[in-house]
Structures are given as structure tokens and as C-alpha cells.
Amino acid sequence: MAHQSDLIESDIEAYLKSHEEKSLLRFITCGSVDDGKSTLIGRMLYESKMIFEDQLAALETDSKKVGTQGQDLDFALLVDGLASEREQGITIDVAYRYFSTDKRKFIVADTPGHEQYTRNMATGASTADLAIILIDARKGILTQTKRHSFIASLLGIRNVVLAINKMDLVDYDKAVFDQIVLDYQAFATHLREDGVVPFEIVPIPLSALKGDNIIEQSPKMPWYKGQTLLAHLEDVPVQQADIEKPFRMPVQWVNRPNLDFRGFSGQISSGSIKVGEIIKILPSAKQSVVKSIVTLDGNLDQAIAGQSVTICLEDEIDISRGDVFCEAGKPAEVANQFEATILWMAEEPMLPGRSYLMKTGAQNARATITVPKFKVNVNTIERLPATKLELNEIGECNIAVDRKIVFDAYDDNKDMGSFILIDRLTNATVGMGMLRFALRRASNIHWQATDVSKSTRSAMKTQKPAVLWFTGLSGSGKSTIANLLEKKLTAMGKHTYLLDGDNVRHGLNKDLGFTDADRVENIRRVTEVSKLMVDAGLITLVSFISPFRSERQMARAAMEDGEFLEIFVDTPLEVAESRDVKGLYKKARAGEIKNFTGIDSPYEPPKNAEIGVNTAEMSAETAADHILLTLEERGILI
């Protein structure tokens, strides 16, 4: 006969096992400041703790014995703790909290309501199945209500709980509740151009502080006949990984522990795959047959969306991280130019023409963004003209990347259509976005192969092509040194061309001013011209202030290894200003010239320039000779 303690232990194990097998709902709480998000989360955590402990008590055991998440805190202390976190700035990043009931497990993304933290709300919403949008019954719909609703619709959230909170402060008045619901439903019709409300709206009147309609029906609002908040969260359908869509699996890792095994590991984004089926590998477009599907628990005959597997193929094909396995008859798209929706998340604005790192799934590419087609006024959902995107602004832009990207439109496949943008110098995430479609010119314009190559052209000139990029403050001596160096190279029979900042602004870049955005575009155009000249086999001298490291890095990345040499003409500001040959510093100090580098616009000096010259300590002639000697040592001058 089994011992009673053994029965209790087995009951506990069975109970905990049932928790593991429950469905999981991810949701986000959002809304304006002081709408009661912390109080609501605290109430749900507290109540779920009570439910959990009551169930364990029925099993005649101590809750601490099985390690419950319950803490020895009453509801007030729990809410105080959440509020304290906000005061300490902990929720500047998204705080994820876990709780469970007897029906379902939950992960809630707790995001701050302040406008400057809109980016954090978007981060939490990106993986959510449902959004609880809180509204203070006394205040009605506010700007943040609209902003968060718009972002939720952009990110494809299809279930919204309109939690009209603090009903106790309006005497539980049904008329107040009804009016807010009507106002919100009218607003929601403007979230899409076609007027269709993008999500299912379930309005619930509640008081998070008093517990009304959170767990149990409130006797103070007998006019409300719907579910309580927790009951709705337990019953709302969870969007399952879509196995009906075409098969997609981004390759995250090439698994080759020995010579007898070669597999490709990743998580299936959509669809299903069976042993023996033909798949297409993009972007190479090569095909093969699935030989086996391997998991830690053994081989499978079939795998579906959401599973992490290793797929082995019948053929030896060159496949690497970032490639995508697709259903052969319904492959994803491949392109290098897109229209995308971007939410900007950085303090520094998004500057058209600047190069960013784009990451989508396991794919990385260097991306350049055009001037936004428009940005969205979240108050009116009106499209407004824009030249850049500031912190928390949302806009439609075209993106060009330096390699082919495998993708599906975001509306068809979130995993395959979402991306983030990363600052290439700081590695900070500066934006997130959704790919809408490939631009037609991405597939209609092809690179035309030519028979005469760069190496042939440079060999004829007995030199290695290179870009000598002179950077420094105005008046540092860049143009003077570059001019002297070109004369010396020409005397040696070398083929050169000098691109000077002032000269280029008389023609190619005459439409550009001196704002940060214009400076970025200025360098982007010169980079493209320099690349063509290097392809012609020339030694190209570029003399531009080029104040931003990002753009100089972009120019470097556009060239092949060893072709780009950064030359820092290192002259202190006071020395450059004392020269003031063109009188520009004097005008800048007088306020007659705006955005002047070194005065009211920053200059970011190189950190690791190949060549450095200090014109406060050496003459222009000596500097040119020093650069020439370095070129000879590096083998540029054959």
C-alpha cells in the first residue's frame, strides 16, 4: 500500500505537470501615465497567487515545498513594489512578469506610459497576443491611448481589452463607460485607411485598486454582463503558430560535429515539413530533399511551426547562417529594396542616407534609408511630410540593403517581415520596422557584367586603386595637402582624381545644405562617385570635412579591403579658426552661418585613421611627403 506522503508528492508532481502543459498567453498592458497599469498588474499577480495557494492547500502541502512564485506580500506591498520600480527607472526597459491560473499561463509585458518610452511599449507589443489598453475613466481617451493603439495595430495584435479603470472614482457610472467605449470605437476606425477596425475590442469596466471585475463580477456594476478580466484572458483564443502557411525556417546554425553529420538548425517560422519533401534554399534558390529531421528527443517524420529542429539534406549544398529553407512551390521573396514602416527608437534622429545595420531573423545587411514618404500624426492618424524621423516617430520609408534579403511581408509572416536597425558604431538598437513589399526596381534592375575589370584597368596604370579620404576641420589644410599630394603622384606617372568638398557642391551636390541630413547625403553621393573611380583603377583623393564617423565608416564599407585609407588632418580648432582663410569662422561666431562644424555642429574625429598628420606641427609639404611615403610602404604605388 502506497504511503500517504507518496500520494501527496505524486499529486503535486501531476499538478505542476499540468501547469507546464497549459497554453501560454502573452499580453501587454499599455496606456497613459497613471492609468493604473502597476495597480492592475499587482492585482492580477496577487489574485493569481491566492488561487495557486488555495489549490496547493487542497493538496495538503506547504506552498513553499513546491517553490511557488507566491511571495509573502499582501496586495498593497506588491503594488508599492511595482511603483517603486518605476520610480527607480527600472521599467525604462520592458519588465516581463509571469503568473498562472488553473487554466492558463501568462507573460505580461509591463511598459511605462510616458511618451518618451513609446519604444518600450513597441518592444513589448512585438511578441504579444493581446493588449490591455487602460483608460482612466475620469480622463477618457488620451494621446498615449491613441499612440499605443496605433502601434498595436501596426504590429498585428488582433485582440484588445479596453480596460476602463478607476470606475470607483466616477461612482461606477454606466454612462461614463458607454461614452468612452463609443469614443474609442470611433477612433479605432481611423487606424486603417479602409476604416476597418484592426482588432477585436472587448471593453471591461473595472477598478484595479478595489478589485472590481478583475477576478469576480463586481456587485457595484450590475449593469455589466460581460466576463471579468481574468476570465476573458483565460478564454481568449491564443494565436497558434500558423502551420497552414508556407514552410519557412531561417538557418540559425550549421551543425557539423563530425564528418558524418551535417545539419541545419533553426526554429520553424511557419508551415510544416516532412522527411522526403523538396525544399528550396534562399537566396541561392538551390533545391534538395529532406533526409531527416533531428531533435534532442529523437528524429521526427514531420515538424511544424514553432518547433526547433535540425534538418539534414540529401545533397551537399553550400548553406550558411541567414539562409532560409522554404516550401519549394511557395518560396519567400528575395530583394534588396523595400518599402517599410519604421518606428524610430533613438535620441538621435534617423538621417536619410546614413548607413545602419539591418537585422531580420538571422540575416544581417548594411541598410540605407531614403527620406520618409511620410510620418504619422498619432493623434489624428494623419500622414504628414517629413525629412527625417525623431524619437518615437513612425514613418514609411524605402530601404536599400547591400545584399539580397529573404523575406515575407510582415502582414503574412511576422518573423520573416520584421527587422531592427542598429547603429554601426555604437551597436545600439535605434529602430524597429516591418517590411511591406519589395520595390519593383529591386527585381527589374540587374547588374550588367562587363569584360574589362577593375584589376585590368589598374594594371594598365601600374598602381593599385585606392580612396585617400582626407577628413578634418575647415581650415585644417585638407585641400592644400590633397592638392600637393596629387601633384606629386602625377609627377610619378600615377592616375588620380581629386574630389574637393567645395568643388563638388558647385555641381553634383549643389542642392544640399549643411544640416546633418544634408551632410549625410553629401557624403553618400561622394562615396558612390569614389567607388566608380576606384573601379576605373584611379587613386582617388577625397577632401571633405565629413564630420560624422558613421558616414566615413559607410564610405570605407563601400570599398574592398585595403582600398580605403582615412587620413586625419589633425588640427586644433583654435589653430584652424586663427587661419580662417575664407572668413567662415568669423561668420559662424557672429551667427551668420548655421550648422558650422566645430562651432554649432559637431566633428567626430577618427579613432583609428590609417594616416594622421598635424598641420600645427608640420607644413603642408611635409604632410604630403609623409602620406606619399606611407602609400609606398602599403604597396599602393606599384
**Number of domains making up the chain:** 4
Maximum Cα–Cα distance for the chain, whole Å?
104
Rounded distance between C-alpha atoms, residue 468 and residue 473, angstroms: 17
* pLDDT tens track for 443-465: 555 556 677 888 888 888 888 99
DSSP codes joined into one string, 142-206: -HHHHHHHHHHHHTT--EEEEEEE-GGGGTT-HHHHHHHHHHHHHHHTTSSTT---SSEEEEEE-
Half-sphere exposure of 2 (CA within 13 A, CB side): 8
Question: Do both 368 and 320 map to the same domain?
Answer: no
Q: Which of 268, 292, 327 is the last residue of a domain?
A: 327
pLDDT of residue 78: 45
Q: Are residues 285 and 143 part of one domain?
A: no
What CATH number should be reported for the domain holding residue 542? 3.40.50.300
Are 520 and 621 in the same domain?
yes
> Residue 487 forms beta bridges with which residues?
none
Asked if pLDDT for residue 541 goes beyond 90, the answer is yes
CATH at residue 284: 2.40.30.10
Is the pTM here over 0.85, yes or no?
Answer: no
Q: Cα separation of 162 and 180, whole Å?
A: 9
Do 358 and 252 sit in the same domain of this protein?
no
Distance, in Å, from the CA atom of 414 to the CA atom of 395, rounded to the nearest integer, reads 18
**Same domain, yes or no, for 223 and 372?**
no
Q: Do 85 and 180 share a structural domain?
A: yes
Helices (H), 318-445: 414-417, 440-444
Q: Is 256 left (phi over 0), alpha (psi -120 to 50) or beta?
A: beta
Domain containing residue 418:
333-440
Counting every residue written for the chain, the total comes to 638
Looking at the structure, tell me whether residues 218 and 272 fall in a common domain. no
450 within domain boundaries: no
- Tell me if 445 is assigned to some domain: no
State which of 171-180, 426-435, 462-471, 490-499 shows the largest mean pLDDT.
171-180
Cβ partners under 8 Å of residue 368, min gap 6? 353, 354, 355, 356, 399, 400, 401, 524, 554
The per-residue pLDDT for range 555-567, each reduced to its tens digit, is: 998 899 999 999 9
Q: Does the pLDDT at position 13 exceed 70?
A: no
Per-residue pLDDT reduced to its tens digit, 236-283: 987 665 788 999 999 999 988 887 889 999 999 999 999 999 999 999
Q: DSSP state, 60?
A: T
User: Which one has a higher pLDDT value, 84 or 437?
Assistant: 437
The grid coordinates listed for 67 are 517553490
Residue after which a domain boundary falls, among 266, 300, 327: 327
> Same structural domain for residues 77 and 152?
yes
List, by residue number, the catalytic residues.
Answer: 546
Q: How many CB atoms lie within 10 A of CB 146?
A: 22
Residues 580 and 604 in one domain: yes
Whether 420 is covered by a domain: the verdict is yes
